[in-house]
Amino acid sequence: MRTVIILIAGLLLLPTVLLAQAELCPALVQAAYAAAALECADVQPGEACFGNRPLDVSALGQGSFTRPGHKITGLQTLTSGAMNPGAGEWGVAVLNVVANAPDQTLTMIVLGDVTLENASAAESPVMLANLRVVEKVGLIVRAAPEEDAEVVALLNFGDIVPATGRLEFIEWLRVALPDGGSGWVSALSVLPEGDVDALPVVSAADTPPETFYSPLQAIEFTSGAESAPCSDAPASGILIQTMQPVSVQANGVDIQLDGTVFLQAPRELSVHVLEGTAQVTSREETESAAAGWRIEVRYDTEAHILTHPRKAEQDAYVQMRPLPFELLPRGIDEPEFNLMGVTTPAAPDRPVLEGIIDDSPCTVAAGNEVRLRQGPGRDYPIVGALYAGESARPDARAEGEGDVVWWRLSPGIWVSSDVVFFGGACEDLPFVESPPLPTATP
């Protein structure tokens, strides 16, 4: 009997606990972002920075993270903790990864429940420079940097191959061939599309690199499958931004990236393109996506491997909106996603508020097309539209000009109460402060 009473008491307290966590969640997100922005503002190439607890790491010849702002090099593994609002915990780490040139870096921001492992065999950055064949008759690749050395391959006009090394005075360049071999070409017969001065000085006796991926340019990772505990928090994953086009590898999948993406891997690998473009290659199949779209790579539950990429699909605004774009080194425009997860499509031949009673969750619906804005007022940018018959459930409200109430459908998505129908327990929604108006950029 005592056990039953304790169980019932626990169940009765559960809604209170969940409500308290929901109230703490937005504050924790903002505090974690602020801590990461302050403590990790000067992360140098090759470093990983402790943004917010809990984080556990292993690194070559170094100990673990001990405090916010602590930076290490040689990161091998990182485990970031899931959100626990009651304990003030939500793991955030910032990594500055050197790819294949000194100025070819990428920023990784690890968020929430993520386990990450360096999957590159390289101990230091692997310098590469693409070369384009400019000889109309093609180009001979030789076994050594000598005019009479053995011919190992022929390249056609316009072919592009990566250079992996050079002689001291750059008269010959070592290249990697499509078949996995290597050879040497005359520097006079190619057009460099990268910094050949940054290539290592090598000789014919030196062994070519085993991998083209620098440390942390290739990773194995998993992210938690749980939904974010509040609308202000993103789901767990890794936010990545490149300063130049670069290839990365995640869970054995090659991603040619020029911009910003958010990666998730609860099982399947999801590549959400937030800015620029991405090409995802797995099992010799490639799919491309632009900003506002995502590509998922199938997971074979029997073989326990990732297989082929699916066709790109439009992404969900509500899931990507809370990501910490302010922590990225380069600002990006507000992503243009569809409103999947925010709005509900119109039901044919059915009144928009049918079945909504006083105790129902607050619901708003459009009688015709209305504009959605970034904040509660007509001075905020338009972020989308609610079309005739579509509905949504606000989570908060605010007063705009003329004391008109605006409904918040999701952070960054508002609609005026004077252009929609509404019903349900709308008077129970909390009033929140209006977000600041975006500042104009010159």
In a domain, 437, yes or no: no
Same domain, 312 and 252: yes
In a domain, 440, yes or no: no
Q: What is the reported pLDDT for 205?
A: 94
In a domain, 139, yes or no: yes
In a domain, 442, yes or no: no
Tokens of 336: 């243009």
Same domain, 133 and 247: no
pLDDT above 90: percentage of residues in the chain: 68
For residues 234 and 217, what is the distance between their CA atoms, to the nearest angstrom? 23
Secondary structure (3-state) at 188: helix
Phi first, then psi, for residue 290 (nearest 5°) are -110, 180
Residue 441 pLDDT more than 70?
Answer: no
Mean pLDDT of 312-340: 79
Secondary structure (3-state) at 219: strand
User: Which of 72, 67, 63, 59 minimizes the C-alpha distance to 39?
Assistant: 67
Same domain, 104 and 240: yes
Tell me if 427 sits within 8 A of 360, measured CB to CB.
Answer: no
Cβ burial of 72 (10 Å; 0-12, 13-18, 19+) is: buried
In a domain, 283, yes or no: yes
Same domain, 119 and 230: yes
Q: pLDDT confidence of 109, banded at 50, 70, 90?
A: very high
Same domain, 395 and 269: no
Same domain, 8 and 81: yes
In a domain, 205, yes or no: no
Task: Report CA-CA distances (Å) from 274 to 31, 262, 278, 373.
Answer: 24, 7, 10, 20
Residue burial 175-191, b: 16+ Cβ < 10 Å; e: rest: bbeeeeebbbbbbebbe
Sign of the alpha-carbon dihedral angle for 179, 182, 184, 187: positive
Tell me if 95 sits within 8 A of 71, measured CB to CB.
Answer: no
Mean pLDDT taken over the chain: 89
pTM of the complete model: 0.78
Cβ burial of 368 (10 Å; 0-12, 13-18, 19+) is: exposed
Beta pairing class for 382-386 and 129-133: unpaired
Residue burial 250-277, b: 16+ Cβ < 10 Å; e: rest: bbebbbebebbbbbbbbeebbbbbbbbb
215 pairs with which residues across the strands? 218
Residue 2 pLDDT more than 60?
Answer: no
Same domain, 188 and 170: yes
Q: pLDDT confidence of 335, banded at 50, 70, 90?
A: low
Same domain, 53 and 117: yes
Q: pLDDT confidence of 3, banded at 50, 70, 90?
A: very low
- Domain boundary residue among 263, 296, 327? 327
User: Which of 351, 354, 343 minimizes the C-alpha distance to 391?
Assistant: 343
User: Which of 355, 336, 352, 334 minimizes the C-alpha distance to 344?
Assistant: 352
Q: Within 10 A of 413 (CB to CB), how many other CB atoms are there?
A: 23
In a domain, 336, yes or no: no
For residues 114 and 8, what is the distance between their CA atoms, to the nearest angstrom? 34
Task: Report CA-CA distances (Å) from 323 to 228, 232, 309, 326, 415.
Answer: 11, 9, 24, 9, 22
For residues 250 and 296, what is the distance between their CA atoms, to the nearest angstrom? 12
Q: Within 10 A of 17 (CB to CB), how many other CB atoms are there?
A: 11
- Domain boundary residue among 327, 352, 381? 327
In a domain, 208, yes or no: no
Same domain, 178 and 241: no
For residues 153 and 146, what is the distance between their CA atoms, to the nearest angstrom? 15
CATH number of the domain to which 407 belongs: 2.30.30
Which residues are CB-neighbours of 396 under 8 A, at least 6 positions away?
407, 408, 429, 430, 431, 432
Secondary structure (3-state) at 229: coil
Residues of the domain holding 364: 343-428
CATH number of the domain to which 147 belongs: 2.30.30.40
Same domain, 117 and 134: no
Same domain, 282 and 244: yes
Q: What is the pLDDT of residues 261-305, one digit of tens each?
A: 999 999 899 999 999 999 999 999 999 999 888 999 998 888 888
Same domain, 109 and 61: yes
Q: pLDDT confidence of 138, banded at 50, 70, 90?
A: very high
Q: What is the pLDDT of residues 35-92, one digit of tens each?
A: 999 999 999 999 999 999 999 999 987 666 778 889 999 999 999 999 999 999 999 9
Q: What is the reported pLDDT for 7?
A: 38
CATH number of the domain to which 74 belongs: 2.60.120.1440
- Domain boundary residue among 147, 173, 198? 198
Question: Into how many domains does the chain fold?
Answer: 3
